[in-house]
Chains A and B, each alone.
Chain A
Amino acid sequence: MIGSLLAQVESLKDAASAAGQTQDSAILGEQFYFFTVVIMWLIHAGFMSYETGIARRKNALATAMKNILTIAVVTPTFYYFGWWIYNCNQPGLPIGPNSSDFTAAACQGGIPWSDAFGPNLTNNINLVFFLAFLLFSWTTASIMSGAIIERARLSAYLLLACALGSVVWILDAAWGWSAGGWMTLRFGFHDSIASAVVHGVAGAFTLGVLLNVGPRIGKYTREGLARQFRPHNLHMTLLGLMLIFTGFYGFYAACLVIASTAFPGWANIYLSPTTLGSIAMIITMGFAGGFTGGYFASRGDPFWTVSGGLAGVISVSAGADFYAPTLGYLIAMGSAAMVVYIGNWIEKSMRVDDAVGAVAVHGAAGFLGIIWVGVFAAGYPTGVNNVDSSIGGQLIGVATFLPLGFLTGYAMSWVMKKLNILRVPPEVELMGLDVAEYEPNLYLPEVAVASEQLVEPDGTAVDAAVVLRTARDEVVI
């Protein structure tokens, strides 16, 4: 009798202990994602600084405001339908033979009127996990924003940001960046820290938009040679990149799943084991290799050196959960060097005016990243079906994400172009967006009267006034 009672007491103690551990684990996870979100805000401070520094002085405030207002529109759209897309479309599209199970609890957590979106005593994770994904969404939009500065309308950008941040990237994440996504379950597609899922798709979308928005007035000579617009504050740009790099540590951490009561405590997004230390190591080696590759490929150009660091990290993200540090270092170095050449080719041969090199740095490096997994890291079980990573699976990813990003960006911006709501009027572009959209007297008089300069293809710096007005009169946008 007493023995039985003691056994019951012990059983109750065990149950209480397990429940306590579960609660502790949930609260630890809640705190973890919360702080990744805080750190990831630096990415957006960085993008704002980065792009504003690149812009000419007459467009600085408009550029910064565009970045800030990304948050105003992508946040509600991601809440109202983006999270639903991720949670309810992992097996495929909503309609069709592989349509989703909308009664699943995970799907319910994505519906905006779910009571998981509020104070809920039985769910510590949904909201902070949602916020981490929301920050990824802002990032995709910010990748596009820099490329189209100084001529795209704010409202056009905001609509495109909603499409990219709350539909396009999160759909590809549902398919290839979840344990239950069809690309993962069937093909072992592996992109653990979102090389292509975030960066590649955003770069492809951006390329589609750039083809419709066109170059800035005066960017190309009559012969098609590229001029250079001088950044109004390159130091601000470099600072912005450093802020982005800092925020990337939060981004990487937020891509992991924390389960402190289960061995080994961490999993990648496909629920396969990894450690926080390993991905932090790869990101750091990626920066080192990327800076080095960017420096030598660009012959010491500061912009491409620092952008090379970003490209290097992006290129090792897909396999950051299992790369050896040396492999990460070498992949990043080679990828960053390739990105410098790709960026110059896009500008000078394709004649696409990408003001910040986003298509090369994010798009090219992102897709290179998933290909490198197929080349250097095949054979790792991925997803709940434990399908091995392979070059075939990774190429499925390229074949899916590239058209998904490019075609949606191209189609949407094409419609906007036809409606004449994509680009600012030429008069406004010449005068500067700040004067048209915001406060006309932004600068001290001695700064305001400094004339704008640009660099001709032969390297000569000239006064921009006559060149730009001539270009405006010649070019049909």
Chain B
Amino acid sequence: MPLLIDSAPDCIVHKEHYSGDDIADFILNDNFADCAGFGTFMPGSTYGDDGTGAETLYMIVTWVGIAVMVAVLVAWVVYENRRLVAAAAGFTQTEPPATGPPPQPGGVGDVR
């Protein structure tokens, strides 16, 4: 029994030993014989069957991924904006007169 989550589709059977129905002696195929797609949370159905692919759990997991992706993009904009505004303020305070070479990384104008 899985410790926390059993995400395997129902089409997977659990045979304890090698089966004579396995196609080759190095692929334990028989446990998966009734499956097509058998990834985590997948329905185990045949691809394209009746035009449907996934069932509830797999779709929920997918939508969680979509929500995270959108959140990451928004966070990227907000986070970078904060860093740039802070850096610009720091550069303005420490900017030397425009008569010599510009401040370089690690040089006079480096505020970090």
Contacts and interface: CB of A to CB of B under 8 A. Distances in A.
Nearest to A450: B104
Interface of A: 58, 73, 76-77, 80, 102-105, 108-109, 111-123, 153-156, 158-159, 162, 421, 424-428, 430-432, 434-437, 440-443, 445, 448-452, 463-466, 468-470
Interface string B28-39: 000010011111
12 contacts: A73-B76, A80-B69, A108-B47, A108-B48, A108-B51, A109-B48, A115-B39, A115-B42, A115-B44, A120-B37, A122-B47, A436-B83
Q: Which of B35, B62, B106, B110 has the most A CB atoms < 10 Å from its CB?
A: B106
A158 B76 contact: yes
A435 B77 contact: no
Contacts of A469: 98, 102
Contacts of A102: 51
A219 B85 CA distance: 23
Nearest to B100: A465
Interface of B: 32, 35-40, 42-48, 51-54, 58-59, 62, 65-66, 69, 72-73, 76-77, 79-81, 83-85, 87-88, 91-92, 95, 98-107, 109-110, 112
B90 to A, nearest CB: 8
B80 A118 contact: no
B32 A118 contact: no
A80 B73 CA distance: 14
A448 B106 CA distance: 7
Nearest to B99: A466
A113 B62 contact: yes
B102 A431 contact: yes
B102 A468 contact: yes
Q: Which of B32, B48, B54, B85 has the most A CB atoms < 10 Å from its CB?
A: B48
Contacts of B38: 118-121
The 6 closest A-B pairs by CB, nearest first: A115-B37, A118-B39, A114-B53, A451-B101, A436-B87, A425-B88
B47 A442 contact: no
Contacts of A73: 72-73, 76
A442 B105 CA distance: 7
Contact of A80 (B47, B65, B103, B106): B65
A121 B36 contact: yes
A140 to B, nearest CB: 18
A424 B37 contact: no
